[in-house]
Amino acid sequence: MKNELFQPTLPSIQNKTLDKEFIKDVIKPRKGTTTLAFIFKEGIIVCVDSRATSGPYIASQTVNKVIEVNKHLLGTMAGGAADCFYWEKLMGNYAKEHELKYNKRISVCAASKFLSDNLFYYKGYGLSVGSMICGYDLTGPAIYYVNDDGLRVKGDLFSVGSGSTIAYGVLTTHYKFDMSFEEACDLGKRAIYHAAHRDAYSGGSVNLYFMNYDGWTKIGSYDVQALYEEFNKL
């Protein structure tokens, strides 16, 4: 028997673009991480820390919390690492199947809908997922927040994780759509740095990605201690 990917029909709220205040209220803080993504005039910035914790214990300082789904899609990890990795890789398989079947890249909307549908189906099973699905398609740049309840929200700026409230303070103060590439990269690094500096469950390195229509590029990985010395010289 052929295995079919489950795609239930979700309530209409899943597809709505909601205002930023609602987004802040509805996104549950996820333990032990800080991730962010935002759209600006030249593309999308995705920035994350690299610390993994198990209760009070720091399990790793070198986790890459950006899942490289394909050349045009990135996902972030907040919550349970295994849950995020498994379901976003499954989404990647679906995206590849779509590309082979229709000879075109999947839209960010469709990819995130597939993820939210499957998470909604397993709601109440103890999954822990708070991810941002970021990418470019024929309609332009898009970012969707998806969590383990199956909630799916589209927006221009998100931060998810235990340090997200600190990151939001930096982002909402300095974010402008018409920023230059250098300003956008600096804002992403600063927001994650300040979150890592104040949140005990965030830290390690800052991993920075840039996306445009041609795909994503990893700009670099920056040690939080080095950023502390850099920013405090200014």
Per-residue model confidence as pLDDT tens digits over 7-47: 444 444 444 455 655 555 555 545 579 999 999 999 999 99
Which of 33, 34, 35, 53 is catalytic? The answer is: 33
202 located within any domain? yes
Structural domain total, the chain: 1
Q: Residue 109: name the closest of 14, 4, 216 by CA.
A: 14
Per-residue model confidence as pLDDT tens digits over 177-214: 999 999 999 999 999 999 999 988 899 999 999 999 99
Cβ-based neighbour number of residue 41 at 10 Å:
11
User: What is the CATH classification number for the domain harbouring 102?
Assistant: 3.60.20.10
200 located within any domain? yes
CB 173 within 8 A of CB 158: no
User: What DSSP character marks residue 55?
Assistant: T
76 located within any domain? yes
CB 134 within 8 A of CB 157: no
Provide φ and ψ at 193, rounded to 5°.
Answer: -60, -50
* Strand 57-60, strand 66-70: pairing: unpaired
Beta bridge partners of 75: 67, 133
Cβ-in-10-Å burial (0-12, 13-18, 19+) of 55 comes to exposed
Q: Is the dihedral of CA 77, 81, 84, 87 positive or negative?
A: positive
Residue 14 is predicted with a pLDDT of 47
Q: Which helix (H) or strand (E) holds 174?
A: helix 164-174
Q: Count CA within 13 A, CB hemisphere, residue 188.
A: 32
Q: Is the dihedral of CA 227, 221, 45, 32 positive or negative?
A: negative
168 located within any domain? yes
Tell me whether residue 33 is one of the annotated catalytic residues. yes
169 Cβ contact list (under 8 Å, min separation 6): 194
What does the buried/exposed string (b/e) look like for 181-198 if buried means 16 or more CB atoms within 10 Å of the residue's CB? eeebbbbbbbbbbbbbbe
Confidence of residue 231 (pLDDT cuts 50, 70, 90): confident
CB 130 within 8 A of CB 100: no
CA 130, CA 97: separation in Å to the nearest integer? 24
Per-residue model confidence as pLDDT tens digits over 133-158: 999 999 999 999 999 999 999 999 99
Residue 161 is predicted with a pLDDT of 93
Mean per-residue pLDDT for 220-224? Answer: 94
10 located within any domain? no
4 located within any domain? no
**One-letter amino acid identity for 194?**
H
Per-residue model confidence as pLDDT tens digits over 48-96: 999 988 878 888 889 999 999 999 999 999 999 999 999 999 999 999 9
25 located within any domain? no
* Strand 157-161, strand 205-212: pairing: unpaired
Q: What is the mean pLDDT of the chain?
A: 88
Q: Which residue range(s) make up the domain with 126? A: 34-49+64-231
pTM over 0.95: no
19 located within any domain? no
